[in-house]
Amino acid sequence: MAPTSYKVGLIQMSCGPEPEENLRKALAFVEEAAARGAQVICLPELFQTQYFCQREDAALFDLAEPIPGPATAALGEVARRRGVVVLSSLFERRAPGLYHNTMVVQEADGEIAGIYRKMHIPDDPLYYEKFYFTPGDLGFRAHDTRFGKVGTLVCWDQWYPEGARLTALQGASILFYPTAIGWHPDEKAAFGEAQHDAWRTVQRGHAVANGIYVAGVNRCGFETGDIRGQAAPGKGLEFWGGTFLADPFGRILLEASHDKEEILVGEVDLRHLEDVRRNWPFFRDRRIDAYGDLPRRFID
């Protein structure tokens, strides 16, 4: 008989200037989440370093690594030993001069079950990702795992309903959004509450519109983009944490603080998902014959 539920672990962590220490911390958090019963465990975006995209520096391409590579080897060992699925966002070196922000799905035997390359790449003050990351070319993806079918998107993807829809249509029971989002020091007082609320609300909307669970997995702490003692110019970013799990009604089931490292463990109940979709049959009532203009940039 197929399982009717599984448990997810959402890791909210702060990141320091030493990549090796961040990886050790992440491995320990995965161990702890597994010990608490989590079966599918997600780390925040680019957890191996402080958020280096606060400046444009070609030397920082040296942080990237191949997939498979050292990080997937270490994470795969924990996944195999604990019998859990691990989702990690890595800076991928695909080829010379070609780099991606890539989410890796590692099965409970430690093997790589699939990858997703971040599709939407931002370019804003202190978020200079277009300098580092080539947009994904694999499309939106849901991955079969031992415990359930999961959707993988990354950070800036979370603002786009098209990505959520296309992933949900592949049969995912949850959308994971590993994230690195925070407040600019000059903006927090005036806009901080509204920015956080918008981030939370749009993802809850994806849960409702698709009848699906959604997990936003953010980092926390103040960062200057320090990589081994070399910080970025500017005032830095305060990552707002707030990691959460929402159900298919958009209800917040679990939510972390703004400023503390935490592990959230919650349940994905496939029976609840089925019940919600029976009563709110958005997939049934979609007018797939009428959406032909969606691929257009703008309708003049």
CA distance 117 to 99: 10
118 carries an active-site annotation: yes
CA distance 165 to 212: 10
Given the residues 42, 155, 220, 223, the one annotated as active site: 155
Sign, Cα dihedral of 226, 229, 234, 235? positive
Q: Report how many helices (DSSP H) and strands (DSSP E) the chain contains, helices first.
A: 6, 15
Given the residues 7, 25, 45, 238, the one annotated as active site: 45
Q: Which is it for strands 112-117 and 244-246: parallel, antiparallel or unpaired?
A: unpaired
User: Helix crossing, 161-168 with 188-210: angle to 10°?
Assistant: 30
| Cβ within 8 Å of residue 55, ≥6 positions away | 128, 225, 232, 233, 234
Given the residues 15, 42, 118, 238, the one annotated as active site: 118
7 carries an active-site annotation: no
The helix (H) or strand (E) run that includes residue 72 is helix 70-82
- Active site amino acids: 45, 118, 155
